[in-house]
């Protein structure tokens, strides 16, 4: 199954496409680039995160709620990335010893369905 993703590299590059064979415990996966359909390998260690999205366009005018409650999504967490971005959401799989973990947005209307956060690209991760 292909997943619509926006790949954020740790160096700031962004790539949009479809993840073909993403698994959180694998060191790499393949993406078909949006527009060209070109397929190439992405190394997870080079990333900030994999954003599984509803649309590539998103909604720049959206107001993101940070105070919502989502039952059954795990513990509420705040992720502070090395580039200064902060992500609020829920996780049931965070461990600092793991290469990465999933975060589900606080707001169910967010364009992100879930985010695979690469632990090495974070400054701090706190349960809130």
Q: How far is CA 1 from the centre of its chain?
A: 18
Instruction: For residue 89, give its domain range.
Output: 3-127
What is the rounded average pLDDT for all residues in the chain?
Answer: 92
Q: pTM (2 decimals)?
A: 0.92
Contacts of residue 93, Cβ cutoff 8 Å, sequence gap at least 6: 74, 101, 102
pLDDT band at 72 (very low <50, low <70, confident <90, very high): confident
Strand 112-118 relative to strand 47-53, pairing: antiparallel
The predicted structure's pLDDT at residue 69 = 73
**Higher-scoring residue by pLDDT: 61, 52:** 52
What's the average model confidence in pLDDT over 94-105? 95
What's the average model confidence in pLDDT over 69-98? 91
Strand 112-118 relative to strand 122-127, pairing: unpaired
- How many separate domains does the chain show? 1
Residue 58 has pLDDT above 90, yes or no: no
């Amino acid at each position: 199954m292909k997943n619509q993703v926006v790949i954020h590299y740790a160096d700031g590059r962004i790539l949009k496409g479809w993840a073909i064979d993403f698994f959180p415990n694998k060191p790499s996966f393949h993406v078909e680039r949006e527009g060209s359909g070109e397929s190439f390998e992405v190394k997870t260690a080079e990333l900030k995160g994999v954003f599984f999205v509803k649309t590539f366009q998103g909604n720049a005018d959206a107001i993101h709620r940070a105070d919502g409650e989502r039952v059954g999504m795990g513990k509420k967490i705040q992720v502070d990335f090395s580039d200064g971005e902060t992500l609020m959401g829920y996780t049931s799989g965070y461990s600092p010893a793991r290469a990465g973990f999933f975060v589900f947005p606080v707001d169910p209307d967010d364009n992100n369905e879930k985010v695979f956060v690469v632990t090495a690209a974070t400054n701090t991760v706190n349960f809130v």
